[in-house]
Amino acid sequence: MRFLFSFLVVALTLAFLITTVIYLVKRAFSDVRLSVSGNNNSAFRDVLEQLRRQVKALMPELVPWDGEMFSLLSLKQQPVRSKGGFRASATGYLLSIFQEPVVAFAAQSAGKHKVVVGRLHDREFVFRQRDKEAEIWLNGEPFGTFTGGALLSADKGARLLAKLEEKPSEQHSEVLLSSGRSVSLTNRERASGPNPRAAVLVRELTREEENAALAVALLRLLL
């Protein structure tokens, strides 16, 4: 009887270890697939749909985004849920300086790879970070790639949409747009006050300019 009991313990332990190894291998394989370029990757699509469902549940609380909202966006987040571990996830809001939820987000990360959905009242940004590069989609369409401080368009010409000039020793860093206009982004480490602005707009932006500047700003806030 004692031998049978010992045998069962060993068998169950081996079964548990084998199951754990299989699970970790499958998870690691899934994370490798998640890093593959292109939005037709099934692992990426699965994660993206899951994040979109989470964001959809948060959208009823969003304040409409108007022409002045970019200047009112703050550095402050309001977490709704977060989970650590092998594959970390988080959902929540980015707030305005008046504590209003203006961007709903959901994120999932594993190692150096991260997928984030950021939803305004009228637009959706999707970010997929792979090491030091981030692919960006706007309203489901390829928008650009952020690499080396430059936001390049997703078309064959890879046009320069925006350039981030980091100034970590100053209060703001600068986003230089292709039109020559610029937006100052607040450096979190240098921010002051209980709810500092995330951006200071130098001039009124067109929709296209705002999309490019906002993509860089959200990338800094959410990735």
Q: For the segment 85-95, what is each residue's pLDDT rounded down to a tens digit?
A: 556 899 999 99
Q: Is the pLDDT of residue 47 over 70?
A: yes
Strand-pair partners of 152:
145, 160
Q: Is the residue at 29 inside a domain?
A: no
What's the pLDDT band for 84 if we cut at 50, 70, 90?
low
| 140 lies in some domain | yes
**3-state DSSP call for residue 24?**
helix
Is residue 200 over pLDDT 50?
Answer: yes
- With 80 as the cut, is the pLDDT of residue 26 above it? no
Domain that holds residue 142: 37-222
Higher pLDDT residue, 2 or 185?
Answer: 185
Global pTM value: 0.81
In this prediction, residue 41 has a pLDDT band, given cuts at 50, 70 and 90, of confident
Does residue 174 form part of some domain? yes
Output the pLDDT for position 158.
95
* pLDDT for res 94: 98
User: Considering its fold, how many domains does the chain have in total?
Assistant: 1
136, part of any domain: yes
For residue 186, is it within any domain?
Answer: yes
Residue 8 lies in a domain: no
